[in-house]
Amino acid sequence: MTHKVQTFRAPDSTSALAAVKAALGSEAVILSTRAVESGIFRRPEVEITAALGAPETPLPARRAPVSAAGAAAGVAAHAAQAGQRLAAGRPQPAHQAGAQPGQAEPAPPRRPIDDPVQQELRDLRRSVDEARRALADVTREARAGRELQLPPSAADLYSRLAGRGVEPALAEGLVRSAVEQAGLDPTALLGAVRSLLGERLIPCRAPWHLEGRHVLAVVGPTGVGKTTTLAKMAARAILEGRRRVAFVTLDTYRVGATEQLARYGEIMEAPVLVARDRGELQRAMERVADAELVLIDTAGRSVPEDVARQAALVRAVPRVQLHLVVSAATGASELAAVADRYRALQPDRLVVTKLDESAGPGGILSASVRVGRPISCVADGQRVPEDLHALTGLELVDLVVGEDGPRGREVRS
């Protein structure tokens, strides 16, 4: 019998196998499968070589000269079961495997570990991943160098800022302003960007360094670490300033929130009071009137109406200082959204947490620009109180742009 051998290419294995079946029918057998590169801007294709027909007699056990058609048939017989299972996604029917009607279908042979089809699939996945990464790099460079029409030195600085998590629009605005001020010299350009960042990232005195009596409340989304941050502030105030500290919690929504704060209070020998409404909050504040630093914890809320009600409750406390807590691990776009959501509350200070979990710490610029308030402290871990820090203006700039290169002037509040 004449064996018709054809080669088919398609974007994926499903399409290629469909083409085999359409051209050669369901009796076709798969001879080989491989991935074919089509260039960096095109996805690799799948190439399948298939044959129609089967050998009339089995190949002899010993080696002997055979015709080209016989060789193809031999390869087909060796690959028939594995190839058809790959195509159909199920065991080969008994009538195609040579079983007699009524006879039990033989168990399919176990695929060897070094099966070439599996290796080709692994190679295909690796090629796709490499092409995807290369395309992402090309896209990023094209946006900086061509779409934004930035000179090379400015495009490099833009890419650096974007790579550290700064929002693209903010990064572009910084670079263009720096070009207007300092020209295109890379060193002068970086110095200008650092100075511009210093004007936007303003530090202030940390809560544990404040003198006199202060009442501080934290607000922010769920999961940003408000309770742990308050515990760190309290520990620093007790250890470094020998100050009397008290906790008041409004977080009666989250399971275990009150117990968590109570454990911190027990360790620090600081009172912990729970308030569910304005009356209880007023009575709690009267009971902690002798504390030098009162720290008020709140529940994370996402609905704007709930956020506004909670802020109104906290603002009923005289001379309370409202700190908005945001997580650097959420990324620039989410930080911007959180800042926009809480901006109407007019927070007095900004606290940034989870810097240790952030892939791009430059995202804190998004929250700072939108809230427009000084940054009182940052947290980069769970340890109490070691992982809470009051940074200078230069250190905040370093978070965004990196520590190397010339430094602009430090801006303080």
For 330-356, the DSSP string reads G-HHHHHHHHHHHGGG--SEEEEE-GG
In this prediction, residue 251 carries a pLDDT of 78
**What whole-number distance in Å separates Cα of residue 97 and Cα of residue 213?**
87
The length of the chain in residues reads 413
Tokens coding 213: 């009596």
Least confident of 109-118, 176-185, 335-344, 384-393: 109-118
Q: Which CATH superfamily is domain 207-390 in?
A: P-loop containing nucleotide triphosphate hydrolases (3.40.50.300)
In this prediction, residue 232 carries a pLDDT of 94
What average pLDDT does range 305-327 have in this prediction?
Answer: 87
Q: Say how many Å lie between the first and final Cα of the chain, rounded.
A: 90
In this prediction, residue 374 carries a pLDDT of 92
Task: Tell which wins on pLDDT, 178 or 76.
Answer: 178
pLDDT at 28 over 90: no
In this prediction, residue 339 carries a pLDDT of 85
Task: Tell which wins on pLDDT, 26 or 41.
Answer: 26
pLDDT at 187 over 60: yes
Taking all residues of the chain, what is their mean pLDDT, rounded to a whole number? Answer: 77
pLDDT at 315 over 50: yes
* Residues contacting 95, CB < 8 A, separation 6+: 101
pLDDT at 271 over 60: yes
Domain residues of the chain, as ranges? 1-58+66-91+112-142, 143-200, 207-390
Contact between 28 and 54 under an 8 Å Cβ cutoff? The reply is: no
CB atoms within 10 A of CB 58: 9
**What whole-number distance in Å separates Cα of residue 207 and Cα of residue 298?**
17
**What whole-number distance in Å separates Cα of residue 383 and Cα of residue 379?**
9
In this prediction, residue 94 carries a pLDDT of 41
Catalogue the long-range contacts made by 7-11 (C-beta closer than 8 Å, 24 or more residues apart).
7/47, 7/48, 7/49, 7/50, 8/47, 8/48, 8/49, 8/50, 9/36, 9/45, 9/46, 9/47, 9/48, 10/45, 10/46, 11/43, 11/45, 11/46
Residue ranges with strand state E in 20-161: 29-36, 45-52
In this prediction, residue 53 carries a pLDDT of 59
Least confident of 132-146, 325-339, 378-392, 393-407: 132-146
In this prediction, residue 42 carries a pLDDT of 58
CB neighbour class for 373 (10 Å; exposed up to 12, middle 13-18, buried from 19): buried
What average pLDDT does range 195-213 have in this prediction?
Answer: 90
Query: Quick one: DSSP state of residue 203?
Result: B
Band (pLDDT 50/70/90 cuts) for residue 287 is very high
Task: Tell which wins on pLDDT, 251 or 64.
Answer: 251
**What whole-number distance in Å separates Cα of residue 161 and Cα of residue 147?**
17
**What whole-number distance in Å separates Cα of residue 237 and Cα of residue 207?**
8
Which of 233, 240, 353, 352 is closest to 293 using CA atoms? 233
Contact between 134 and 166 under an 8 Å Cβ cutoff? The reply is: no
What average pLDDT does range 371-398 have in this prediction?
Answer: 90
pLDDT tens digit sequence for 104-149:
455 555 545 456 666 667 767 766 766 665 555 545 544 545 566 7
pLDDT tens digit sequence for 145-174:
556 678 888 888 998 998 888 989 889 999
In this prediction, residue 95 carries a pLDDT of 43
Band (pLDDT 50/70/90 cuts) for residue 88 is very low
Which of 101, 81, 92 is closest to 30 using CA atoms? 81
In this prediction, residue 116 carries a pLDDT of 61
In this prediction, residue 75 carries a pLDDT of 36
pLDDT at 342 over 60: yes
Contact between 97 and 105 under an 8 Å Cβ cutoff? The reply is: yes
Tokens coding 318: 């005289």
Q: What angle (nearest 5°) sits at the alpha carbon of residue 366, between those of residues 159 and 384?
A: 105
What average pLDDT does range 255-269 have in this prediction?
Answer: 83
Residue ranges with strand state E in 175-319: 214-219, 245-249, 272-274, 293-297
Least confident of 67-76, 92-101, 105-114, 279-288: 67-76
The Cα-based distances of 35 to 112, 124, 226 in angstroms read 20, 6, 51
In this prediction, residue 76 carries a pLDDT of 42
Contact between 272 and 265 under an 8 Å Cβ cutoff? The reply is: yes
Cis? peptide before 347, omega within 30° of 0 = no
**What whole-number distance in Å separates Cα of residue 144 and Cα of residue 159?**
7
**What whole-number distance in Å separates Cα of residue 39 and Cα of residue 129?**
14
pLDDT tens digit sequence for 42-59:
567 888 888 875 544 444
pLDDT at 63 over 60: no
